[in-house]
Structure 1
Amino acid sequence: MIGKRRQKELQEALKRLALEGTPDPLRLCFRKCLGSAPSEGDSGPWVDLLQTVLANLRRMPETEAPPTPRVVEVVLSVAQEKGVPAEDFLKSAVVELLERVPSDRTGRTVVQKDTRDRILEAALDVFSEKGFHHATMDEIAERAGVGKGTVYRYFSSKDNLFSQLVQARLQELEREAEEVLDSDDDVLSMIEKYLGIYFAFFDRNQRLYRVMVQEHPELDDRLQDLYVEEIMRRIPRLKRKIYEARHRGVLKDVNFHTVFYGVMGFIHGVIQRWLAHECAYSLEKELSTVREVLFYGFVNRQNTNTGG
């Protein structure tokens, strides 16, 4: 999983490739992300990088995104620098990418997806019970009811397995967020629904979230980044809805970005409190309080003594 700082470097490098035609920043970013050359037959780090690049390209406005062939050229040049022939790299990367493709209507792909999902669920169980560092691939294979070789067929390493487990959950959140943020709801209904799916996401994935925070804290930053990215991608639509709400007198005329980042900090403070209490209650129970504070504050103005 690529960390928060590398994510930002990657986004900047992609923009520079698009706007200036300069491949060097992207090439340098790839080198940093990959580190030393992966061992023979280990295409996992390359595929993780490609998936991250594709996700970034999909989120970028068309005017800022570089042509995909240019990005591929840079990836291949870095592979060759690390002693991986282009043909070998493409073959191994394509094979692993195809194994990660969601199921279609054919029986064979469904079976592959079932096996992969079973391994992911087993990994979540083992990671939750023993922590990431103490978990072993043998234990995960045994819990999934498959051979260790089968686990390595889908995931090149324990790090790669954990990365894909987190990525799968983040994609669930992203799909749900897209439906809400692209809807025709008014801005207050949109915020309410988004808070609902966001809190429900943590409730469903509390075991994974604990492991992330305790042993991979940089992934918690990635969740916050996703929250920001999904909102910021839809700024034009949101601004229109906010303008309409202001025009109707529903919203005050305050700085959007100041309010947005303040709200984000408040929400994640609520989530951190829930985590500190060992997730002993449903996070969704906090929704009514969060909604009340966000929409109406916590001060009863009529009972406030404003005198000197």
Structure 2
Amino acid sequence: MRMTRALGKRLPIFEAAVAVFSEKGFARATMEEIAKRAGIAKGTIYYNYRSKKALFLSLIEEGIERLETAVKREIARKEDILGRLEALIGAQLSFFEEHRDYCKILLSEVWGLGNRWEKQVERLRSGYISIIKELLQKGQAEGVIRKNLEVDTAATALFGAVAVAALNAFVFETRYRYDSILQTLKDLLLGGIREPAGTVAAPES
């Protein structure tokens, strides 16, 4: 996973950590192996991070921040709500294709074990998923998203559907058609939440 330049000398540590956590999971990964993968002394890692958990949490925070930045950049290019939702789906899918190991870590270690990483799941909910919720709420106000849609559930489901589809295609499959996956997700997710043609409600005043 390519991280921000602001990480500076910590970049090799992060890249090695992503690879090791993805391969072995948090419980089985060791700081020794991460140091070896990064080509540095173990003490260098402990100089920057007091524990394996601190390194892992820093990695997750960095990844979520990068995901949010990528999505916000893409949706800012669209004016209408449905266009922004399509851009969001595309940006998330593209991010997970580029950062496959991070996708695996996020779903298997963080999302899949919410009790252990409760604060990180909440960070994901209050940050990235709140972006989806805001778009859905605006769509309801404009009459293009169904009024009876339960926004919290829909926002989480949208994130989860894209993430699981990405994990299946980019991590577990050897061959995949990106454009087909993207279009299927758009049809499935947006088709189920938009107001049917001819029944668009008047925008809220």
TM-score, normalised to structure 1's length?
A: 0.49
CA deviation profile, 1:42-83 (whole Å, cap 9, x unmatched): xxxxxxxxxxxxxxxxxxxxxxxxxxxxxxxxxxxxxxxxxx
Q: Which runs of 5+ in 2 are unaligned?
A: 197-205
1:237-252 mapped onto 2 (5 Å cutoff): 239=138, 243-244=141-142, 246=143, 251=144
Between the aligned partners of 1:276 and 1:162, the Cα distance in structure 2 is 23
- The structural deviation recorded for 1:192 is 0.9
TM-score, normalised to structure 2's length?
A: 0.69
- The structural deviation recorded for 1:128 is 2.2
Between the aligned partners of 1:296 and 1:151, the Cα distance in structure 2 is 47
Aligned residues: 180
What residue in structure 2 maps to residue 229 of structure 1?
130
- The structural deviation recorded for 1:267 is 4.9
Between the aligned partners of 1:211 and 1:243, the Cα distance in structure 2 is 36
- The structural deviation recorded for 1:210 is 2.2
- The structural deviation recorded for 1:214 is 3.2
Kept in 2, the 8 Å contact 1:202–1:283? The answer is no
The alignment status of 1:148 with 2:46, answered yes or no, reads no
Q: Which has the higher contact order (CA 8 A, sep 6+)?
A: 2
Kept in 2, the 8 Å contact 1:131–1:211? The answer is yes
Over the matched positions of the two proteins, sequence identity in percent amounts to 29
Between the aligned partners of 1:257 and 1:143, the Cα distance in structure 2 is 47
- Cα separation, partners in 2 of 1:255 and 1:208, compared to 1, 3 Å: same
Between the aligned partners of 2:81 and 2:125, the Cα distance in structure 1 is 21
User: Residue 255 of structure 1: SS of its match in structure 2?
Assistant: coil
CA deviation profile, 1:191-221 (whole Å, cap 9, x unmatched): 1111111112222232233234334422584
The alignment status of 1:291 with 2:183, answered yes or no, reads no
The alignment status of 1:268 with 2:160, answered yes or no, reads yes
Counterpart amino acid of 2:99?
N
Between the aligned partners of 2:92 and 2:21, the Cα distance in structure 1 is 23
Kept in 2, the 8 Å contact 1:155–1:161? The answer is yes
Kept in 1, the 8 Å contact 2:16–2:37? The answer is yes
Counterpart amino acid of 1:162?
F
- The structural deviation recorded for 1:148 is 1.6
